[in-house]
Structure 1
Amino acid sequence: MQVVSVREEISIPSGVSVSIEDKKVAVKGKKGELHRDFSFARFLTIRQEDSKIILEATFLNRKEKATLYSIRRHIENMIVGVQNGYRYYLKIIFTHFPITVKVVNDYVQITNLIGEKNIRTARIMPGVKVTVKGEDIVVEGTDIEKVSQTAANIELASKIRDFDRRIFSDGIYIYKKEVIS
Structure 2
Amino acid sequence: MVHSAYDAIELVKNHPTKIESIASNGSKLLLACVDCSLRIYAPQSAPSSPSDPSSNGSIQRQRYVLEKNLGSFSRKPIVAMEISKSRNVLLSLSETITFHRLPNLELVAVVSKSKGVNAYAWDDRRGVLCFGRQKRVGIFRLEGGREFVEVKEFSIPDMVTSIAWCGENICLGIRREYMILNSTSGVPKKGIGPRTEFTRAALI
State the TM bucket, normalised to the shorter chain.
Answer: under 0.3
* Higher helix proportion: 1
Q: TM-score, normalised by structure 1?
A: 0.25
Q: TM-score, normalised by structure 2?
A: 0.23
